[in-house]
Structure 1
Amino acid sequence: MANNMETVTNPMLTEEIQKAVVEARSTCQEKGDGSSECAVAWDIVEELQAEKSHQKQAAQRKNSLEVYCENHPEAIECLVYDV
C-alpha cells in the first residue's frame, strides 16, 4: 500500500526530499553540525517531508457525499446500480 500512496503524492517531491537530504548531509559535514547552515538545510528537509505528508492526507480525505453515504448506505443518493 505504501507504493500506492507514493504514486498519489508528487513523485518530484520525493526526489526533491532525497536531494535535500544529500545536500543537508554535505552542508553539515562542511560547515559543522552546530552551524546555522546545517540547521537551515535540515529545516528544508523537514518542510519538504511535511508537504509530502500533507499531500498524502489530502488524498485520503473524503468529500461530504462519501461521508454521508458511509453513514447512510441505504440513501437514494448512495445507491450504485450495475448496468
Structure 2
Amino acid sequence: MTTLDLVQANVNSGTKTIEEAIVEAITEARQTCEINGDNSAGCAVAWDIVEELQAEKSHKKQAKQQKNSLENYCATHPEAVECLIYDV
C-alpha cells in the first residue's frame, strides 16, 4: 500500500479531514525535499501526493455543488410536468 493510499484511507475512514491530510502531506513533502534534495525522486513523489490530495478535495467540492432551481423545485414537486422523465 502506498503512502497516498494510506492517507486516503485515513480520510475515508473519518480519522482525518482532507484539509488535515493536505497540510500533513505538504509538511512531509518539504521535509523530504530538504533531506533528499529538490531534484530527488522522493521529493517529486511527495509533491505528487500533495497534488493528488488537492485534486481529490476539488473533486469532492464539485460533487457537493448546490442544486439549481429546477432541481430544488423537482425535489419538492416530483409530479410536476417539468420534472417528469420519459424513456423513449
Is 1:46 aligned with 2:51? yes
Q: Which residue of 1 aligns with 2:65?
A: 60
Q: Which residue of 1 aligns with 2:11?
A: none
Shift in Å at residue 62 of structure 1?
3.7
Count of residue pairs brought into register by the alignment: 63
Which structure dedicates a bigger proportion of its chain to helix?
A: 1
State the alpha-carbon separation in 2 of the partners of residues 52 and 41 from structure 1.
17
Q: Return structure 1 stretches of 4+ with deviation > 3 angstroms.
A: 75-78
Is 1:16 aligned with 2:43? no
State the alpha-carbon separation in 2 of the partners of residues 77 and 51 from structure 1.
37
Greater RCO (CA < 8 Å, at least 6 residues apart):
1
Q: Which runs of 5+ in 2 are unaligned?
A: 1-13, 83-88
Q: Which residue of 1 aligns with 2:6?
A: none
Aligned-partner residue type, residue 18 of structure 2: L
Shift in Å at residue 76 of structure 1?
3.5
Q: Measured at CA, do residues 17 and 77 of structure 1 come closer, stay the same or move farther in structure 2, by a change above 3 Å?
A: farther
Shift in Å at residue 46 of structure 1?
0.2
Aligned-partner residue type, residue 52 of structure 1: K
TM-score scaled by length of structure 1? 0.63
Q: CA RMSD in A?
A: 3.0
TM-score scaled by length of structure 2? 0.60
